[in-house]
Structure 1
């Protein structure tokens, strides 16, 4: 039975971290909300959000349905899927290391979101532009170097000596870091200019993921939604460095 992924239509958002893992593994999955057949679409997602599934609830998408199992939250979904998809090293030590890295990515993505919605998600960006500018300036100056510096060190300190961040083979964390770099380059092109020189290991990882056959095919397909100003990574020129 195909995995069923539930996430808002029209945006990459947090759902993209799960999509990349499913695509790399060549897994059989359905992006439920993007289909309007009976039992699919937004109504199917709202039904689960309102009423749960087999006594299991989810606060918000993304969530994944695997038979009668419902798993929510990106890091938790990837922790569940990765052994099934062959995208995590074997053994508890490295599996928990990967989960810790993914949870740090979760924190980072939350801070990305807050650059354009620093006061409230209930307000439009236009209602908090001055605060967004202040938040973005601090994010660019302090938080991007903090997080990317950490991931760069983790890559360099991987005892396997590979270009991957945990273990010697590709993991879901590598895929998520690829998405983070893609999103930052879209949202903050000036701030990210020349990042390859500052974070050479991350840049190498980004290139390696992009060149993987299934990922390359996915990125060139209509399944890969474009970045836009409704998702987490948004480009507002006034929030970028030097503007």
Structure 2
């Protein structure tokens, strides 16, 4: 039975980290909110679960994954669940190390989001534009380098070589790092011009993931939603700046 991925239609967002994992594993899944209402799918079907008065352990918000009767919320939690099943995480306790790396990525993604919504998610970007400029400057000057230096060091110090963030085989955290770099290049093209020189191992990882046959096919397909200004990674020229 296919997994059911519940996430907002029309944007990559946090759901994209799950899509990349399912696509790489060639695991059947239904992107529920992108389906037709007449097929029992669509955004209405997703909201019906969130707003249910009877469903136990309802998720607070998407993304969440439905596997039969089991509902698994939160991106990192979903990947922690799927990873061992799909051969993209260790089967033993080392999977918690991979989970820890994914949680660090989740922290970083929150900071990316806050560059354009530093005050309130319910407000439009235009309502908090000046605060966004200050937050984006802090992010580009300090937070982005701090996180990327960390992940570059994780690759450098991996005892199995620098081809993967963990061990000597592809895991979902490699796919997630690919998505992070893709998103940063879209949102901050000026700031990312020297990324390759500063973080050569992360750049090489991104290149390897992009060349994976299943990922390459997915990126070229209509299933891959383009980056846009409704997702986490948004390009506002006034927030971008060239870095040394």
What residue ranges of structure 1 are gaps of 5+ in the alignment? none
- Which SS does the other structure have where 1:182 is aligned? helix
Q: Is the 8 A contact 1:62 1:74 kept in 2?
A: yes
Task: Compute the TM-score of the two structures, normalised by the length of structure 1.
Answer: 0.97
Q: Is the 8 A contact 1:89 1:167 kept in 2?
A: no
User: What's the CA shift string for 1:173-206, capped at 9, x where partnerless?
Assistant: 0000000000000000111112111001100000
Alignment partner of 1:45 is 2:39: no
Could you tell me which residue of structure 1 aligns to residue 129 of structure 2? 129
What residue ranges of structure 2 are gaps of 5+ in the alignment? none
Q: Is the 8 A contact 2:193 2:242 kept in 1?
A: no
Q: Any residues of structure 2 matched to 1:48-127 within 5 Å, and which?
A: 48-51=49-52, 54-92=55-93, 94-127=94-127
- Partners of 2:54 and 2:31 lie apart in 1 by 18
Q: How far did residue 55 of structure 1 move?
A: 1.5
What number of residue pairs does the alignment pair up? 242
Q: How far did residue 56 of structure 1 move?
A: 2.1
Q: How far did residue 162 of structure 1 move?
A: 4.3
- Partners of 1:222 and 1:52 lie apart in 2 by 35
Q: How far did residue 33 of structure 1 move?
A: 0.5
Q: Is the 8 A contact 2:149 2:199 kept in 1?
A: yes
Following TM superposition, the consecutive aligned residue runs of length 4 or more in structure 1 with deviations greater than 3 angstroms are: none
Task: Compute the TM-score of the two structures, normalised by the length of structure 2.
Answer: 0.97
Q: Is the 8 A contact 1:49 1:59 kept in 2?
A: yes
Two-structure CA RMSD over aligned residues (Å): 1.2
Q: How far did residue 51 of structure 1 move?
A: 1.3
Alignment partner of 1:200 is 2:200: yes
Could you tell me which residue of structure 2 aligns to residue 154 of structure 1? 154
- Which SS does the other structure have where 1:65 is aligned? strand
